[in-house]
Copies of this chain bind each other. A is one copy, B any other.
């Protein structure tokens, strides 16, 4: 830490906001690394802050204006992310989450990795909260909650030549009077030259009363990971289709189709096994098994894993989502009923960490698949052929 450096890009309390800056390898003290920040202008991206991190072979862009989501990435020549029908990044001022019956979030959705939460996520629906008079009243929660459309009030870049780590820190508040008061403190870190990044998050209940939390990391991939014959590999203990539409695909729930015009999404809910240290992983590998993207995390932090298959035509959004979370993306009222909504005591924090790793050759892919097989060894797999009432409303 002796040689660690840091630069504040945003600190609203002190009226600090840097419109444009680049830190090159000399300044960072990290070879082949750079961090640059710009404020985008024009179109739907007008006013969006974007931080581009390059650690050598891996680069990725972070969006302070969209809840510190990760817009796109690239590993060597491989793009990380997907091609959404909306071309962003989209400033929240152009997103009305109440639109289209609570599905307005979709108008801003084109990130590689986007958090869903913090007070709620999942399908829109009615929910009972307490009003300013302490009486229960019913509100309509919108798809995937607010965090992706809230701007960070604090952003910092750090580099440490000793550890070779480069980090972007951010703080985003989802808080108001008579509303939940949750703060996201996030750190996105990668090591110079590595093929991975790690998201370390802490969600603090700022209030003096208990608060609920739902958190999903919606990690989205198109090609070249997603393609005909691609497969989700994970140490599954149990899997169930969300609904009848998903049930019809059970014979190939872990396999992917090529772009298929008119394809209607299929969603599967998983319980995954963990290794002896408590870690699990989900891997999307391509058809020829020479590329893979892996998500690694502690099972106890993010006990629910959702696979979203949306192999529609390229122009309609050819994408799959691997979604570790505290819950499944059903309506919050259903998740609460199933005991999958986190409750934070006053000032309590929830911490979790998610590592995304990219494999770009056959041996790496084979190794990671072997790792999963090792975790899976001896585990009984339970594959439900129809929706299970523990996982989804039937």
Assembly CA distance A84 to B280 (angstroms): 40
User: Nearest chain-B residue to A152 (Cβ)?
Assistant: B43
Q: How far is it, in angstroms, between the C-alpha of A272 and the C-alpha of B42 when the chains are bound?
A: 40
Contact B245 A312 (CB under 8 A): no
B44 touches A153 (CB 8 A): yes
Q: Least Cβ distance of A119 to chain B in Å?
A: 10
Q: Is A26 an interface residue (CB 8 A)?
A: no
Contact A12–B153 (Cβ < 8 Å):
no
In the complex, the answer to whether A101 meets B138 with C-beta atoms within 8 Å is: yes
Q: Is the CB of A223 closer than 8 A to any CB of chain B?
A: no
Interface centre among A129, A150, A178, A312, by most B CB within 10 Å? A178
A43 pairs with B316, CB closer than 8 A:
no
Interface string of A272-314 (1 = CB under 8 A from B): 0000000000000000000000000000000000000010111
8 A Cβ contacts from A229-287 to B: 243, 245, 261-262, 264-265
Contact A44 B176 (CB under 8 A): no
How far apart sit A178 and B44, CA to CA, in the bound complex (Å)?
18
A15 → chain B, closest Cβ, in Å?
7
Give every chain B residue within 8 A of A390 (Cβ-Cβ).
Answer: none
Max chain B Cβ within 10 angstroms of own Cβ: one of A97, A208, A245: A208
List, in ascending order, chain B residues with CB within 8 A of A66's CB: none
Q: Is A85 an interface residue (CB 8 A)?
A: yes
Cα–Cα, bound, A45→B243 (Å): 42
- Tell me, rounded to whole Å, the shortest Cβ–Cβ distance linking A62 to chain B: 14
* Number of copies of this protein chain within its complex: 3
Number of interface residues of A (CB under 8 A): 78
Distance (whole angstroms) from the CB of A133 to the closest CB of chain B: 6
Q: Which of A86, A176, A208 has the most CB of B within 10 A?
A: A176
- A161 to B221, alpha carbons, bound, how many Å? 48
Interface residues of A in 76-131 (CB under 8 A from B): 84-87, 92-94, 96-101, 103, 106-107, 109, 129, 131
Rounded to whole angstroms, the CA-CA distance of A155 and B41 in the bound complex is 13
Residues of A47-67 whose CB lies within 8 A of B: 47, 49, 64-65
Is the Cβ of A94 less than 8 Å from the Cβ of B181? no
Are B177 and A315 in touch, CB under 8 angstroms?
A: no
Inter-chain contact A15/B43, CB cutoff 8 Å = no
Which chain B positions have C-beta within 8 A of A153?
42-44, 87
With the chains together, A64 CA to B41 CA distance in Å?
12
**Cβ-defined contact, B261 with A85, below 8 A:** no
Residue A361 at the chain B interface, CB threshold 8 Å: no
A22 within 8 A of B: no
| Nearest neighbor of A209 in chain B, beta-carbon distance | B262
Are A140 and B101 touching (Cβ within 8 A)?
A: yes
With CB as the reference atom, state the residue of chain B lying closest to A41.
B17
Q: Say yes or no for A132: interface residue by CB 8 A criterion.
A: yes
Judging by beta carbons under 8 Å apart, are A96 and B96 in contact? yes
Contacts of A134 in B (CB 8 A): 245, 264
**Interface residue? A173 (CB, 8 A):** yes
Contacts of A340 in B (CB 8 A): none
Say if the beta carbon of A10 comes within 8 Å of chain B.
Answer: yes
Specify which of B42, B177, B315 is in contact with A84 (CB 8 Å cutoff).
B177
Contacts of A312 in B (CB 8 A): 208
- Report if A175 contacts B (CB, 8 A): yes
What separation, in Å, do the CA atoms of A285 and B210 have in the docked complex?
A: 32
Point out the residues of chain B lying under 8 angstroms from A343, CB to CB. Answer: none
Q: 16 A-B residue contacts at CB 8 Å?
A: A10-B43, A12-B44, A16-B42, A42-B153, A43-B154, A46-B47, A46-B151, A84-B176, A85-B181, A93-B93, A101-B138, A106-B179, A133-B243, A177-B317, A181-B315, A208-B261
